[in-house]
Amino acid sequence: MSQGFEIQVFNRHQNKMDIEKVYGDAMVKFAYGTPIGRLLGPIIASKMLSQLYGKSQDSLKSAQKVAPFLKNFNIPIDQYKKGSFKENPVETSYKSFNEFFIREFQEGQRTFTPNDHEMGAFAEARYFAHESMSDDLTIPVKGSMLRAVDLIGDAELAEDFIGGPLMIARLCPVDYHRYHYPDDGKTLKAFTVPGDLHSVNPLALKYRQDIFIKNERRVSILETEHFGKLAYIEVGATCVGKIVQSFDESKSFKKGDEKGYFLFGGSTVVLCGEKGRWAPSEDMLKNTKAGVETYIQLGDVVAQSTN
């Protein structure tokens, strides 16, 4: 992160540095950067407030926010499928802001890397990547908060991932909000860890380094064909009405299958791996060391198997 609260992100697809335009940045600064905001923190991060706000995004009236949102954040809406009102232009086809928020890509807009030794990006997001989880990690949160045991919330399950690689994919409100499987495999176990719903914006993380282990999250332990065991962790955030699992987890999955989606709000997916099984892509590791996230399109390469 650069001086002040400007968020720099390296856009791999365009091969350039971007300055992130933050949705609701004034609210985030108030909530985490002022004494009154911090005093109100428990209310702002409460599940009840997020659910109420999430429900308001389901109303027909909320659809009026779509057009200005598209313009303000320059979203290439022609890449996406229409909403419920199919006879309308795509911009006015969504019945609510939430329906727009969980919009799907049109067929062929994104493809997953076909190579078995390459892991596909499981979310279209801003990534931090680390070769191994250790107590001296300082980005984007203080080291002890990135231990697998803290993220996973189960000491026995976490043992498989201590010292292994880690990726953190941050989704902004402007992003595609569905997340996918990075390889073929099956689900061994899935459970929810209750918690708060703090913002996952880098500004909020600057003030609250324990957000990833304080927030509500959904943990899935996956057995994959080419990358071993993975801990796939969906982290809730302020105004995320719900984390929805759209895939039947009793069935085997294929690389690129949709796993689920977040209703309104920015959020995060964390992926933990077994030590020595795979390594994140070099550009992501280099950017992470410089404190810069890498913006990566869905399905693009994020890691390579090492055996």
Chain segment 5-62, per-residue pLDDT in tens: 578 899 999 999 988 766 555 555 555 566 665 555 555 444 555 455 556 667 788 8
Q: What is the mean pLDDT of residues 86-90?
A: 94
Evaluate whether residue 162 is within a structural domain.
yes
* 214 in a structural domain: yes
In a domain? residue 255: yes
88-96 mean pLDDT: 93
Number of domains the chain is built from = 1
* Tokens at 150, concatenated: 């803290």
Q: Which residue has the tokens 């990690």?
A: 137
Answer yes or no: is 92 within a domain. Answer: no
| CA-based nearest residue to 122, from 170, 50, 190 | 170
- Residue 213: what pLDDT? 44
- Does 123 map to a domain? yes
- Asked if the structure places residue 140 within a domain, the reply is yes
Confidence class for position 305, pLDDT limits 50, 70, 90: very high
Higher pLDDT: 162 or 150? It is 162
For residue 253, give its domain range.
Answer: 118-305
Task: Provide φ and ψ at 16, rounded to 5°.
Answer: -155, 160
**Is residue 91 one of the residues assigned to a domain?**
no
Highest mean pLDDT among 36-45, 89-98, 195-204: 89-98
Residue 107 lies in a domain: no
| pLDDT range class, residue 256, cuts 50, 70, 90 | very high
Structure tokens at 111: 């493809």
Token output for 183: 């390889």
Is the model's pLDDT at 255 over the cut of 60?
A: yes
pLDDT band at 144 (very low <50, low <70, confident <90, very high): very low
Q: Quick check: 297 pLDDT over 80?
A: yes
Q: pLDDT band for position 145 (50/70/90)? A: very low
Residue 20's pLDDT is what? 77
Tokens at residue 251, please? 């069935």
**293-306 average pLDDT score:** 97
